[in-house]
Amino acid sequence: MKILHIHQDYPDGRPFPHTKAVHHLIKAAQQQDASTMHFVLSVNRTSNPFKVSFKTFKQGVSIVYWAIPLPFLYAPSLFFWAWLIARKLKRCEFTAVHGHKLTSEGVLAYRLSKAWKVPYLVSVRGGSDLHNIGRLADCKKLFSKVYQQAAFVFWVSPWAKASVEQKLGVERVDKQARFANICQIDPQLKDLPVERNQYLTVLSFHQYQRKGIMPLIEAISELKQAGTQIELNVCGSGNDSVKQQLIELIQSLNLENQVKLLGQLPHDQLLQLMKKSKGFLLPAKNETFGMAYIEALSCGCPILYHQNTGVDGFFDAFPLGVKVSEQSIGELFVALRQLEVQYPLYKANVQKLINQGYLKEFTADYAANHYLTHLKQVV
C-alpha cells in the first residue's frame, strides 16, 4: 500500500507553525509495518499569491498554496489546488488518501480520491473543523459530502461528533472510530509520590485567554477568601506583556506565596514536576486534543478541564477530576472547591486508570496498530 497523508501542520522545514501528532503516527506505523509506504503532502496556506511554492522534503512534498478563507472563495480555491496536485502527483499511484482535518485537508482528499478513483479517509479535529463549519456556511453541503463519503472517519476529538453532525445535518453510524494522538508517556507508571501539595498548569502566554489562566487565578483568590488555600505552579513563557499582566494580577490579589511563575521547562523536567503535583488545572477552550491532560493523568494527576474540548469523551467510565462549562470565576471557584473536597476519589480513579491500562490507547504501538487495522480494512 502507498498512502498519501495530507496535513496542514506537518513539520516540513518551512517557518510555519506545526505539530508532530501526524509525524509521530506515521513513524509508529512505519515501524510496525514496513510494507506500507507513507507519503506526506504538507500544505500551508498563504494570502499572498507571490509566496506560492512547491518543494520536496524527506517525507514528501510541501506546498504553500494561495487561498482566501472566505465564503464562496474557499471551496473554489481548494478545488483548483486539488486539480493541480492531482496532475502533479498522478504518477505516484497512491492506494488511498488520508486528509487529517475534515474541512480543509479532507476537501483535498475528497477531490483527489475522485480524480484517482481511490478511497479516502478523514480525521476530525474539533477545534479547527467546527470553526470552519461555523464560518463557511456556503460549504455545508460540501463538508457533508466529504464526511459521508469518506471510507473511514477517525475522531481525534470524540467530543465533537454530536456538534459536527448537528451542524452538517447528517449522521454516521459505521466505519468510524475514536483515535487518540500519540503521547510520550509511561502508561503504567508506578511508585508515584503519596503526598502532593501543589497544583500545576502549563500554557504559552500568548494563548492566555483561551487557556483561562486569568479567571483561574482569580478563582484561587476567591477560594482563599472562603478559607481554602491552594498552591499553583505556572509553567510557560512567551509574550512579555502577558507575563507582566500575570505578575500584576498575582500581586494585586496577594497570591505571591500561592501562585508561582516557573517559566518554560524542558519536557522531561515538566514530567518530573507533574509526578510531584497534586493535580493539573487547565480550563482551556477549543482544545482539539490536549496532550498535556494525558501526560498529567499518566503522572497520577487529577485534572480540571473544559467540557466539549480536549480529551473530553475519552474517559467516561469514571470521573478523573472536574470539568467546567465556561471560564467564569464563579464556576472555576466551585470546580476548585469540588476538586479539593473530592480529591481522594479523583486520585483513586486516576490510579485505577493507570493500573487497568486505559492509557495504552495513547501509546505509539497501540495507535499504530489501531490505525493500520482500519486502514487495511478500507484498502
Residue 69's pLDDT is: 85
Name the β-bridge partners of 15.
none
DSSP labels, 153-205: EEESSGGGHHHHHHHHT----SSEEE-PPP----TT-----S---EEEEE--G
Question: pLDDT band at residue 314, thresholds of 50, 70 and 90?
Answer: confident
Sequence-ordered list of residues with C-beta below 8 angstroms from that of 82, at least 6 positions apart, any chain: 107, 108, 111, 112, 115
DSSP labels, 356-379: TTGGGGGSHHHHHHHHHHHHHHH-
Q: Which amino acid is at 247?
A: I
Q: What is the mean pLDDT of residues 58-78?
A: 93
Residue 191's pLDDT is: 63
CATH 3.40.50.2300 correct for 2-182+363-378: no
Q: Which residues of 282-296 are buried (b: 16+ CB within 10 A; e: fewer)?
A: bbbbebbbbbbbbbb
Q: What is the pLDDT of residues 130-159, one digit of tens each?
A: 999 999 999 999 999 999 999 999 999 999
- Spans of all domains in the chain: 2-182+363-378, 198-361
Nearest alpha carbon to residue 292 among 300, 302, 280: 280
Flag whether pLDDT at 190 surpasses 80.
no
Opening angle at CA 124, ends 308 and 91, nearest 5: 170
Cell of 153: 472517519
Class of domain 198-361: alpha beta
Name the β-bridge partners of 63.
43, 54
Query: 2-182+363-378 with 198-361: one CATH topology?
Result: yes
How many CB atoms sit inside 10 A of residue 342's CB? 15
Contact between residue 304 and residue 281 where contact means Cβ atoms under 8 Å apart: yes
Residue 114's pLDDT is: 97
Min mean pLDDT across 180-184, 249-253, 312-316, 329-333 is at 312-316
* The pairing of beta strand 96-99 with beta strand 2-7: parallel
Contact between residue 147 and residue 182 where contact means Cβ atoms under 8 Å apart: no
Number of residues written out for the chain: 379
Mean pLDDT of the chain: 93
Distance separating alpha carbons of residues 140 and 215, to the nearest angstrom: 35
Q: What is the pLDDT of residues 230-268, one digit of tens each?
A: 999 999 988 889 999 999 999 999 999 999 999 999 989
